[in-house]
Structure formats: structure tokens, C-alpha cells
């Protein structure tokens, strides 16, 4: 009976079009890639460089020609989303926006300047305000991780050879 249930679940999943996300593989024609950020201390730059290497890109050697992923702007904003009957904020929304461009070793645009914005809503508990900064940091880490994945997916779609 258990085997039938598992088989039925697998058939149902395949019928709805679900499939695991494929591993990103950037084309070899991209060559070595360097990551440049507007803020040299931004963790996004290091995370992007690591993710690019996992996706098959080679890291650029200092002084040699390479493609460049340039993060031209990176910004955070946190805004109140809802208030209670006493005009105290109960929910916030955190937005993370990144502008980027990809140029090849000759300076030719491979990807036009683009922006990606991600957001996350969260509830603020006035009685547990000590945990709020830690929650905000966790949300920012998650949004940064999601952002580097979104940028890589955008690179994959644009650079993928046309069939």
C-alpha cells in the first residue's frame, strides 16, 4: 500500500509539471569573470564570486582581461506595512534592490543594465523586541542569498546558447 502511495505521488508530481531546478552551467565562452561592487565591503560580491565559480565560471586573475559582473548599486529599505489600533507598527517589509551589468573583456555589454528587487514581509512583536534585530539580520542574509541566485539565473537565461 505504501509503495502505491509513493508511486501515485510521483505520477501526480510529474503530471503537474514539477521538476527540480537544474544546475546552472554558464557557457565557457564567457571566460574568466570578476565581480565588482559599488561597496567594496558588501558581502554580495563575495557570494556572487563563489556562486559563479560553482556555476562553472573561472575566477579572473588580477591584471588579465576578463568579463566583469558589475554591481552598480545595492540598497536596502525597511518600511512599515501595517499598524495596530494604537498606531504601533506590527508588520514591516524589507526590500533589497541590486542594479548590475555584465561586460566582456573588450568592454562590450553582454547584459544591459538591469535591476532586481526582492522583498520580504515580517511581523514585529512589541513584546519580543529583543529578537527583532536578529530577525532583521536573518532576513537580510536570506534576501542576499536569494539575490545572488536571481542574478545567476538571469545570467544563465541571457547567456544560454539559443537552440
pLDDT in tens, 3-26: 777 777 767 666 665 555 556 777
Cβ neighbors of 146 (< 8 A, separation 6 or more) are 118
**b/e burial code for range 120-136 (CB count within 10 A of at least 16 → b):** bebebeeeeeeeeeebb
pTM exceeds 0.75 = yes
Torsion of CA 151, 156, 157, 160, to 10 degrees: 160
> In the prediction, which pLDDT does 159 show?
82
- Fold of domain 25-159: Double Stranded RNA Binding Domain (3.30.160)
**H/E segment holding residue 137:** helix 132-159
Amino acid at each position: 500500500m505504501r509503495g502505491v502511495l509513493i508511486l501515485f505521488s510521483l505520477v501526480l508530481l510529474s503530471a503537474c509539471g514539477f521538476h527540480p531546478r537544474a544546475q546552472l552551467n554558464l557557457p565557457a565562452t564567457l571566460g574568466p569573470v570578476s565581480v565588482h561592487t559599488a561597496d567594496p565591503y558588501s558581502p554580495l560580491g563575495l557570494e556572487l564570486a563563489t556562486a559563479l565559480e560553482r556555476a562553472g565560471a573561472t575566477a579572473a586573475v588580477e591584471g588579465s582581461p576578463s568579463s566583469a559582473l558589475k554591481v552598480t548599486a545595492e540598497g536596502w529599505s525597511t518600511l512599515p506595512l501595517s499598524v495596530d489600533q494604537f498606531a504601533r507598527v506590527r508588520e514591516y517589509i524589507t526590500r533589497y534592490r541590486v542594479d548590475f551589468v555584465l561586460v566582456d573583456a573588450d568592454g562590450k555589454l553582454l547584459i544591459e543594465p538591469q535591476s532586481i528587487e526582492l522583498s520580504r514581509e515580517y511581523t514585529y512583536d512589541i513584546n519580543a523586541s529583543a529578537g527583532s534585530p536578529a530577525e532583521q539580520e536573518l532576513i537580510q542574509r536570506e534576501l542576499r542569498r536569494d539575490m545572488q541566485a536571481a542574478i545567476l539565473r538571469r545570467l544563465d537565461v541571457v547567456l544560454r546558447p539559443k537552440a
